[in-house]
A and B are shown apart, each in its own frame.
Chain A
Amino acid sequence: MPLLIKMLLKNAFRHGLRTGLTIAGMTIAILAFGILTTVVDAWYAGVEASRANRLITRNAISLTFELPLSYYDKIRQVEGATKVSYGNWFGAFYKEERNFFANFAMEAQSHLDIVTELVLRPEERDAYIKDRRGAIAGRKLAERFGWEIGDLVALTGTIFPGDWEFVLRGIYKGRDETVDESIFFFHWDYLNESLRETMPERAGQVGFYIIEIARPELAGAVSKRVDSLFKNSLAETLTETERAFAMSFVTMTEAIMTAIQLVSIVVIVIIMAVTANTMAMSVRERLSEFAALKTLGFNRAHLSFLIFGEAMVITSLGAALGIALTFPAAQLFRSELGQFFPVFNIKPATIYMDIAAAVIVASVSAVIPSYRVAAAPITAALRRIA
């Protein structure tokens, strides 16, 4: 066995420059594949992070329509609903339009009671709940703008025009790495009171309700109960699990994600062509050598194995390098594009797919050369001068 590995390595590196280049190509391909797969995963991060015991109720027409606050008490009485909170998508930006991030006005106490994956220190939590103008921000968001606790943060509204001032009372961390740490939350009451003064017709409206249910199995039944409460009313509701809700955002941009997935396969096909080319060349140059092995009694299977093994050496070295580089590359991605992909984690599945890709590329690129070696008559091959 060690002898075999030594032979495969020697053969693979007989043409140092060529093999080096092929390995470099493989590294780039695996790196690109890994990052692209992670981009697609990041897109689905919201779905991944959703909890099975939560429902979202919104206006049945579409998300841009609101629901009256009066639904709150009715939903709380629905059998199977243990806690209820509500809020609005606020859609404001910090200083400049390109400084965009997710921000919500939430009923603070019940929101933090339900969304337990947001970890706040007890004193920060108290300070936030007590201060009507208080707000909390995710760790990454606070880092991005250099906010510290106690800072005055002014946001410019797009859906609710005007300048809004908040006092940052807490910086939350995620309980695990699937939690988005770049969201900004503040008191729904603060929004509502301001609206009552400036735009009374828009006050008392809620964008969505979050319902915590006792057990995940109740999701279907509770959704139906909530929706039937408001059937044929002026604002009919649509209740679905948090996962389905998150998914509905993702599916709307599905076309682009499908394109990225396709493209990540294209890069593997490109490197397949490059590796197949390398193998085809190195076998062609050594055709007489293979003929000599044949005369010594090695059969076709042995020779095919040698060629496949050599291809495996090249692709696995490239893949190993590529995988090793994926981690720093992802780190760079996180720091540069964190605002678009708040959660950017390499999944173990991605690494397995990288390894699978290395095996597939090696197999495919060994097929034609193996066939050639097998088909070439010994005499013709021995006579041939490369």
Chain B
Amino acid sequence: MAIPISYSIKSLVTRKLTTTLTAGGMALVVFVFAATTMLAEGLEKTLVETGSRQNAVVTRKGAPSEVQSSVTREQASIIESMPGIAAGAQGGRLAAKEIVVLISLTKRGTDKPSNVVIRGISSASAALREQVRLTEGRMPRPGTYEIIAGSSIARRFEGAKRGETLAFATRQWRVVGIFDAGATGFSSEIWGDADSLMQAFRRPVYSSVILKMADPLRFEDIKKAVESDPRLTLEAKRETEFYAEQSKAMSTFLRIMGTSLTVIFSLGAIIGAMITMYSAVANRISEIGTLRALGFHRSSILTAFLAESLITGLIGGTAGLVLASFLQFFTISTLNFQTFSELAFSFELSFWTALKSISVALIMGLAGGLLPALKASRMKIVDALRSV
């Protein structure tokens, strides 16, 4: 025969302060766990969505990012004329020769500089990125010193709003438009005309060639063609993989940090739960004796006390998760170590993260309640009844 669950709930309600404090400790642990996991997931999602399954990126062999890569004009033309590239609406080939450099810009309201990606685009660039939408103004005209800024750059950096100008490479660049690329890395970039930028930066080489594959399933053919051509010291990657690799170091760092913090912090919370449950057992010895005398089994007592502890965990876990879910409204902007440039991303709460967070809370409840509940269930009826 089982002890009704309402018994466990009522005992929790009786000790309001203790229950709140115990659950509060657990809530904080769950909050830290959920927050770091959400951050790592937000970062991964942003960089994974930056790439498209249909696109391939060609860079210098071994270059960890586009900034460190160089593709000469001749090499770029060879790539452009390769078979397997999709045709665009106007009949041209969907391949874009781009230059990517880092410039140091100042954040609004501070004097702190940060590295921003500036991408020199060619005519096919916009068509290759379906996520990119112009929200204000127009595209930069080829051959001019006009630029457009990604939405998170326009918001956070001095001089990056439409109509303002940015000074770099001894020239003034006018912002003629703002584009939004949703939760992708492009929202943290500035785009301008590739030829103008190459001239201004005196960099006679491209950084990468992006191409849309006519048949994404035949990526291996393109890869082979690029990597076996002796004139090219380049390599091809799927765009999705290319960007996923750039999130690796940082998201691994966040996950390791999150997990180790959770493990350490949860020890504290488990101890809190254990203290509470031991005292709950100690205060109710005669009650336990009565229950046993009424015919409740040892296992029922064990379950009732475990339930009490698990409910505390559940309350704490839910509170922590609700708290963490508000983080979704925030955007973090920080340096991605791998690309050495600023990247904005948000906390991302997925179903799995929610499930894992609640499990962490339940595990804490279980670990904290197990020993006290065992102690309660092992009491002898006579001894328990005799105690006052």
Whether A64 and B102, one on each chain, are in contact in the complex, defined by CB atoms closer than 8 angstroms, is yes
Question: For A24, what are the chain B residues with a Cβ–Cβ distance below 8 Å?
Answer: 271
Whether B28 and A270, one on each chain, are in contact in the complex, defined by CB atoms closer than 8 angstroms, is yes
A272 CA to B120 CA in the complex, in Å? 54
Whether B113 and A248, one on each chain, are in contact in the complex, defined by CB atoms closer than 8 angstroms, is yes
Rounded to whole Å, the gap between the CB of A232 and the closest CB of chain B is 7
Task: Please tell me if A273 contacts chain B, counting CB pairs below 8 Å.
Answer: yes
Q: Label chain A's interface by main secondary structure.
A: helix
Question: Assuming the A-B contacts A256-B334, A266-B31, are A274 and B261 also in contact, with contact meaning beta carbons closer than 8 angstroms in the complex?
Answer: no
Interface residues of A in 271-301 (CB under 8 A from B): 271, 273-274, 276-278, 280-281, 285
Whether A21 and B271, one on each chain, are in contact in the complex, defined by CB atoms closer than 8 angstroms, is yes
Chain A interface (Cβ within 8 Å of chain B)?
17-18, 21-22, 24-25, 28-29, 31-32, 60-65, 91, 158-159, 161, 201, 232-234, 236, 238, 248, 251-256, 259-260, 263, 266-267, 269-271, 273-274, 276-278, 280-281, 285, 368, 385-386
Whether A273 and B24, one on each chain, are in contact in the complex, defined by CB atoms closer than 8 angstroms, is yes
Rounded to whole Å, the gap between the CB of B305 and the closest CB of chain A is 16
Question: Assuming the A-B contacts A62-B103, A252-B335, A253-B334, are A277 and B32 also in contact, with contact meaning beta carbons closer than 8 angstroms in the complex?
Answer: no
Taking residues whose C-beta sits less than 8 angstroms from the other chain, chain B's interface range is 35 or more
> Using an 8 Å CB-CB cutoff, how does the interface string of B109-150 with A read, 1 for contact, 0 for none?
000111100000000000000000000000000000000000
Whether A28 and B267, one on each chain, are in contact in the complex, defined by CB atoms closer than 8 angstroms, is yes
Task: Please tell me if B230 contacts chain A, counting CB pairs below 8 Å.
Answer: no
Whether A25 and B32, one on each chain, are in contact in the complex, defined by CB atoms closer than 8 angstroms, is no
Interface residues of B in 166-206 (CB under 8 A from A): 168-170, 201-202, 204
Question: For A266, what are the chain B residues with a Cβ–Cβ distance below 8 Å?
Answer: 28, 31-32, 265
Whether B103 and A25, one on each chain, are in contact in the complex, defined by CB atoms closer than 8 angstroms, is no
A277 CA to B21 CA in the complex, in Å? 6
Task: Please tell me if B264 contacts chain A, counting CB pairs below 8 Å.
Answer: yes
Question: For B32, what are the chain A residues with a Cβ–Cβ distance below 8 Å?
Answer: 263, 266
Whether B272 and A273, one on each chain, are in contact in the complex, defined by CB atoms closer than 8 angstroms, is yes
Task: Please tell me if B279 contacts chain A, counting CB pairs below 8 Å.
Answer: yes
Whether B264 and A28, one on each chain, are in contact in the complex, defined by CB atoms closer than 8 angstroms, is yes
Q: Which residue of A lies closest to B204 (CB)?
A: A201
Whether B272 and A25, one on each chain, are in contact in the complex, defined by CB atoms closer than 8 angstroms, is yes
A256 CA to B278 CA in the complex, in Å? 38
Question: For B278, what are the chain A residues with a Cβ–Cβ distance below 8 Å?
Answer: 17-18, 21
Question: For B279, what are the chain A residues with a Cβ–Cβ distance below 8 Å?
Answer: 18, 281
A28 CA to B337 CA in the complex, in Å? 31
Task: Please tell me if B63 contacts chain A, counting CB pairs below 8 Å.
Answer: yes
Whether B265 and A274, one on each chain, are in contact in the complex, defined by CB atoms closer than 8 angstroms, is no
Question: For B168, what are the chain A residues with a Cβ–Cβ distance below 8 Å?
Answer: 60-61
Question: For B39, what are the chain A residues with a Cβ–Cβ distance below 8 Å?
Answer: 259
Question: For A277, what are the chain B residues with a Cβ–Cβ distance below 8 Å?
Answer: 17-18, 21-22, 25, 272, 275-276
Whether B268 and A29, one on each chain, are in contact in the complex, defined by CB atoms closer than 8 angstroms, is yes
Task: Please tell me if B332 contacts chain A, counting CB pairs below 8 Å.
Answer: yes
Question: Assuming the A-B contacts A274-B21, A277-B21, are A64 and B276 also in contact, with contact meaning beta carbons closer than 8 angstroms in the complex?
Answer: no
